[in-house]
Copies of this chain bind each other. A is one copy, B any other.
Amino acid sequence: MAIQANHSHTIEWVLAQLEHIAQFGQDKSGVTRLAFSKADHQARQYIIELMQDIGLVVHVDAIGNIIGRYEPEGIQAHVPAVVTGSHLDTVPAGGKYDGVLGVICGLAAVKRLKERSDIKHPLEVVVFSAEESSRFNFATMGSKAMAGLANISSWKRIVDQEGISFASELATLGLQIEHIGSAARANNSIKGFVELHIEQGRILEQGRVNIGIVDKVSSPTRLKITVTGMAGHSGGAPIEERQDALVSAAMIVLAVRNIAADYDYQGSVATVTILKTFPGAINVIPGQVEMWVDIRGTEHGSIIEILQEIKDAISTIADDNDTPVAIEVLASEKPMILDYTINKTIEDVCQKLKLTSLRLDSRSGHDAMNMAHIAPAGLIFIPCKEGVSHNGSEYVASEAIAAGLAVLTETIYQLAK
């Protein structure tokens, strides 16, 4: 097992890189490195230089995906590549591992595999742009574009909470939104895609399992709900005469929570993640509330049912309180099944490396689910402490990282040899 030689040295390198990248956007509450923010630009620039140091040829595609490529000597350029990667952007006050782990371990794996003489395919590490939906309300944009799934006419309308457009942020990278289509990769250009990511749940930790092998990835369904009441003086109007948009919104929050609890056993959840009151003054009854709902599940049927139940509950609340409610479906994607053969390869690698593994579904979306549209794709999970993620206290033990790196490296090797 050549893979594990000089292993501790590589792990030290990975841990040091994770700490270094965490500095871009870190404050006391966590790492805030929203897509295309200043911190994200800094991290991206750092990775480009790191890729060059490792000896990769770096290319930035039409949506800003960073592709670091190694071509073994004597291998022709048209030979399909074995690709790994993940993302550098984070949620607000997020953790040090979500996304970054897959990028750094991908680089560590390629760094190692470059030393081997029996690699017969180009190797690529990709940093996918805008994986998190925190800034633009759209998720996994970079991998969607690479898989030819970009919806350019809709993406042209995207603005963040400050009103800054996605198109103008792309432009700061010298990229034009009209050209995003050219980020799409041909089906036969990739032999296989493997992503390493933290689980963001507690299944592996609770089962004391080293490695999760993802069968199915949930894709989010996202709603924007607007409740319209009647603004008024918060000292003036008697309670019974009011149309308080926040009272209706509170009922919707609890309805969503109760519906989600009913479907939890099917692996589906729904969450009201953002709520804003308007006009937002201490002495005015809320006249309008905007709220965003994130629905996840790996069973498409249960998502449809949750959506219908939420709509029914909202309709009743709107009528009872005389506060009309508008529902806009921002995203509605089907769960994605990952590749059987790659999963089998990962499973065999775990066995070979004497690591325990189990098959599971992912309730969070990942770039691998888009890459699965154009290549056989696999997703490797390692446990994170107490399942906590999207939080500054996200933590992954170095033993878990070592296991994940070993499995990723050997899986890429099996695909590329």
Binding site for B on A (CB under 8 A): 91-93, 132-134, 137, 139, 161, 199-202, 218, 220, 222, 230-241, 244, 246-247, 249-251, 253-254, 257, 260-261, 264, 269, 271-277, 279-287, 292, 294, 296, 362-365, 387-391
Could you say which residues of chain B place their CB within 8 Å of the CB of A284?
91-92, 134, 273, 390
Contact status A222-B93, CB under 8 Å: no
- Docked-complex contact A232 and B389, CB < 8 angstroms: yes
Distance from A331 Cβ to chain B, minimum over Cβ atoms (Å): 9
Given A247-B257, A365-B235, are A285 and B264 neighbors across the interface (CB < 8 Å)?
Answer: no
The answer to whether A261 and B239 have CB atoms under 8 Å apart is: yes
In-complex Cβ contact of A286 among B222, B273, B280, B365 (8 A): B273
**For residue A234, which residues in chain B have a CB less than 8 angstroms away from its CB?**
269, 271, 273, 294, 296, 390
CB pair B133 A282 closer than 8 Å = yes
Q: Are B296 and A292 in contact (CB under 8 A)?
A: no
- Distance (whole angstroms) from the CB of A89 to the closest CB of chain B: 11
10 further A-B contacts with Cβ under 8 Å, apart from A139-B283, A232-B388, are A132-B283, A201-B233, A220-B235, A235-B294, A236-B363, A237-B269, A274-B277, A275-B286, A276-B276, A281-B390
| Chain B residues within an 8 Å CB radius of A137 | 282
Please report the C-alpha to C-alpha distance between residue A301 and residue B134 in the assembled complex, in whole angstroms. Answer: 46
Report chain B residues within 8 Å CB of A249: 250, 253
Q: How many copies does the complex hold?
A: 2
Q: Check B281–A391 contact: CB distance below 8 A.
A: no
CA distance A272 to B200 in the complex (A): 34
Scoring A232, A240, A285, A365 by chain B CB atoms within 10 A of each residue's CB, the highest score goes to A232
The 10 lowest CB-CB distance pairs between A and B, nearest first, are A134-B281, A92-B279, A250-B253, A235-B296, A250-B250, A235-B364, A200-B236, A235-B363, A234-B271, A233-B390
22 A-B residue pairs with Cβ-Cβ distance under 8 Å, sorted by A, are A91-B281, A92-B281, A92-B284, A132-B283, A133-B283, A134-B282, A134-B283, A201-B237, A222-B282, A232-B390, A233-B390, A235-B269, A235-B365, A236-B389, A241-B387, A246-B272, A249-B250, A250-B253, A250-B254, A273-B284, A274-B277, A274-B280
Contact of A237 among B254, B272, B387 (CB under 8 A): B387
Q: With A235-B363, A238-B269, A251-B254 given, is the CB distance from A277 to B275 under 8 Å?
A: yes
Give the residues in chain B near A364, CB-CB below 8 Å. Answer: 233, 235-236, 283
Distance between Cα atoms of A187 and B277 in the complex (Å) = 42
Residue of chain B at shortest CB distance from A261: B239
CB of A236 within 8 A of CB of B282, answer: no
Q: With A391-B230, A391-B232 as given contacts, are A281 and B277 in contact (CB-CB < 8 Å)?
A: no
In the complex, A286 Cα to B391 Cα: how many Å?
10
Residues of chain B lying within 8 A (CB to CB) of residue A363: 235-236
| In-complex Cβ contact of A283 among B233, B273, B275 (8 A) | B273
Across the interface, A274 reaches (CB within 8 A) one of B132, B236, B281, namely B281
Closest B residue to A217 using CB positions: B235
Bound-state CA distance A249–B257 (Å) is 12
The complex places the Cα of A199 from the Cα of B280 at a distance, in Å, of 22
Contact between chains at A282 and B277 (CB < 8 Å): no
B292 touching A239 by the CB < 8 A rule? no
Residue in B239, B253, B276, B294 whose CB lies within 8 Å of A257: B239
A246 to B273 CA separation, bound complex (whole angstroms): 8
| Contacting pair B287 A294 (CB below 8 A) | no
Most buried by B among A251, A279, A388: A279
